[in-house]
Amino acid sequence: MDGTERGPDVVVTQRRPSELRSERGPVLISLMLATGLVAIDATVIATAVPSIVGNLGGFEQFPWLFSAYLLAQAVSVPIYGKLADLFGRKPIMLFGIGLFLLGSILCGVAWSMPVLIAFRAVQGLGAGAVQPMTLTIAGDIYTVAERGRIVGYMAGVWATSSVVGPTLGGVFSEYLSWRWIFFVNIPLCLLAGLALVRNFREKIERRAHHLDYAGATLLTVGCTLLMLALLEGGIAWPWVSPVGVGVVAAGVVALVAFALVERRSPEPVLPMLVFRRRLVWTTNLVALTLGAVVMGITSYVPTYVQGVLGTGPLIAGFALAANTLGWPITASMAGRIYMRIGIRATAAIGTAAAIAGTFLLTLVGEHDTVLFVALVCFIVGAGLGLTAGPTLIAAQASSAWAERGVVTASNMFSRSMGSAMGVAVFGAVANAALATGERSAAALASATHYVFVGVFVASVGTGVAIALFPSVPIGTAPATAPEDATPEEALVAEAS
């Protein structure tokens, strides 16, 4: 497409190559900075936990540093997605960056573990706006052909952050103070916000809106309870106990009430299109299973490499980094591939690679080398890079501007739920295998083997989701779709 694109709500500069030096480059840089904030913060605290506990105490509470952040981020994502469709992406993104900045400052001055946990939840609420908005804005200003390359940029930020985050955490904890892992976010937040204010412009249709407070409250309560059950079940309380069953039951009741409220709401938080439109719900199913795969590999490959193969943390990090390296490489190539063979075929190739990689992971033995484990992780990451981005791009492109925020947020929410489910299920599997209390290399090898089998099953689930994914022939329709076009026809038209 040539010239200036003026959608109903967003003003975008001329369609030029999606390089950082293009007219849209400053916006892309802002999105990458914002993505880096969330990505680094997801890993930077891991290596600082001993220092934090040594300073504040509360060893038995430190897992909540991760759980509070994850809970707050996950349950707020769908709400931010709906608000972005009502009031625009820019104000929601800036609000998220501001809230993340506030949470970072508060975490840096925390005086006790419970206070730090509460402030981590504030950070999570900010991240819940930032993560989906970066992808939604990218979906607004880039074409289908360009988005594959943009997703590659974002994936590259995540890959870099996965290496930089733990390193920064260790350096700050050892040479400065663990508090600097939060204070370092201050200049990054200011830079991201300033770049967005100066370079991203959108036109919003001002009209009266009905905010679905009841739906938002029920969704938050229901998801919080279910994720709490998934994260803490079998740890803080037995799975089969009054508390364990009660938390799950209360969460289910809240979500059932949420569904009933949404059916009558004029502007629901999660419109029924998320569940009725095949292209959207299959994309969310892909995200759900991918979340479990990523969490299983991220959590247990380093454990296996250290505990079974007998290496140190640095070498274990290398094995895991191979996974994060494969993802951005193929994600950056995905745009060119799916413009030639279609999104479904591209995702199918990626999923096949991921399934093959996770199958090889189940065959890893005590006598294999770290290099072999790294190669397997690279294959899985490369496969996921061809699957995650293109399927989300398809769902975004098939949605109108007023739906794109909800569609993107529902995808992020599904991945968060998949991660939480992966933590719970894989943790239960590993704990069951180690029930005798034995922590020898052989016992750990057996336990992680069962986890890797579970990861393989989750990747097969991704394959099932891709099999259900509608076939979308890119570039074979007129450039303008009729008003009554189906989502698939609209995607073809935009791609053209």
- The DSSP string of 101-150 is HHHHHHHHT--SHHHHHHHHHHHHHHHHHHHHHHHHHHHHHS-HHHHHHH
Residue 332 burial by Cβ neighbours in a 10 Å radius (0-12, 13-18, 19+) = buried
* Confidence band for 7, pLDDT divided at 50, 70 and 90: very low
Which of 44-48, 390-394, 450-454 has the highest mean predicted lDDT (pLDDT)? 450-454
Return the pLDDT at 494: 43
Do 259 and 151 share a structural domain? no
What's the pLDDT at 458? 93
CATH number, domain with residue 475? 1.20.1250.20
pLDDT of residue 93: 87
Neighbours of 208 (CB within 10 A): 4
What's the confidence (pLDDT) of residue 433? 73
Domain endpoint, select from 180, 206, 232: 206
214 and 202, same structural domain?
no
pLDDT tens digit sequence for 178-225 = 888 888 888 888 888 888 888 777 776 666 666 777 888 888 888 888
Domain with 98 in it? 1-206
CB 394 within 8 A of CB 283: yes
Same domain, 232 and 337: no
Helix (H, G, I), strand (E, B) or coil at 202: strand
Dist CA 490 CA 481 (whole Å)? 6
- Residues 57, 188, single domain; the answer is yes
Q: What would the mean pLDDT of 68-80 be, rounded to a whole number?
A: 79
pLDDT for the residue numbered 408: 77
Place of tokens 């004029």: 266
Specify whether 237 is located in the same domain as 180.
no
Token pair in block for residue 454: 């579970």
49 and 149 share one domain: yes
Residues 224, 111 share a domain: no
Taking residue 253's Cβ as centre, other Cβ atoms within 10 Å add up to: 14
Q: Are 325 and 372 members of one domain?
A: yes
pLDDT digits (tens, 9 = 90+) for 80-125: 877 877 777 888 889 999 999 999 999 989 888 889 888 988 998 8
Indicate the number of domains in the chain: 3
3-state secondary structure 377-422: HHHHHHHHHHHHHHHHHHHHHCCCHHHHHHHHHHHHHHHHHHHHHH
Give the H/E segment covering residue 466. helix 441-468
pLDDT tier at 10, thresholds 50, 70, 90: very low
C-beta neighbour count of 136 within 10 angstroms: 27
Q: Do 320 and 360 sit in the same domain of this protein?
A: yes
Last residue of a domain, one of 181, 206, 231: 206
Whether 459 shows a pLDDT value over 90: the answer reads yes
pLDDT digits (tens, 9 = 90+) for 237-260: 787 888 888 999 999 999 899 888
Give the type of residue at 448: T
CB of 415 within 8 A of CB of 357?
Answer: no
Contact by Cβ (8 Å): 282, 469:
yes
pLDDT of residue 208: 60
Q: Is 4 left (phi over 0), alpha (psi -120 to 50) or beta?
A: beta
Q: For residue 133, count other CB atoms closer than 10 A to its CB.
A: 31
State the pLDDT confidence band at 457, using cuts at 50, 70 and 90. very high
**Top-confidence residue, 310 or 454:** 454
Name residues whose C-beta falls within 8 Å of residue 244's C-beta, 6 or more positions apart in sequence.
229, 233, 237, 238
Instruction: Identify the pLDDT of residue 103.
Output: 92
Other CB atoms within 10 Å distance of the CB of residue 176: 12
The mean-pLDDT minimum among 19-28, 180-189, 398-407 falls in: 19-28
What are the pLDDT digits (tens) for 324-357? Answer: 778 778 877 877 788 888 888 889 999 999 999 9
Highest-pLDDT range among 5-14, 202-211, 285-294: 285-294
pTM listed for this prediction: 0.72
Find which of 8-12, 94-98, 184-188, 384-388 is predicted with most confidence, using mean pLDDT.
94-98
Q: Give Cβ neighbours of residue 306 (< 8 Å, ≥ 6 apart).
A: 312, 313, 316
Domain match, 196 and 232 both = no
Average pLDDT, the chain: 76
> For residue 202, which of 291, 139, 247, 245 has the smallest C-alpha distance?
139
35/153 same-domain check: yes
**Is it the case that residue 14 has pLDDT exceeding 50?**
no
Boundary-marking domain end, from 177, 206, 235: 206
> What integer pLDDT is reported at residue 232 of this predicted model?
72
Mean pLDDT throughout 39-64?
Answer: 69
**Pair (294, 387) in one structural domain:** yes
Residue 257, pLDDT score: 92
pLDDT for residue 360: 93
H helix count then E strand count, the chain: 18, 2
Phi, psi of 233 (to 5 degrees): -60, 135
Query: Does residue 493 surpass a pLDDT of 60?
Result: no
How far apart, in Å, are the Cα atoms of 91 and each of 60, 88, 211, 300, 471?
38, 6, 16, 39, 35
Per-residue confidence band for 59, with pLDDT thresholds at 50, 70 and 90: low
Note the pLDDT of residue 401: 63
Q: Which of 357-361, 416-420, 440-444, 477-481 has the lowest mean pLDDT?
A: 477-481
In the prediction, which pLDDT does 496 show?
Answer: 36
- What is the per-residue pLDDT for 403? 73
Q: Residue 466: its pLDDT value, please?
A: 92
Q: Write the DSSP string, 6-40.
A: E-SSBEE-------TTSTTHHHHHHHHHHHHHHHH
Q: Environment class of residue 483 by beta-carbon count within 10 Å: exposed (0-12), middle (13-18) or buried (19+)?
A: exposed
Q: Give the Cα separation of 145 and 149 in Å (integer).
A: 8
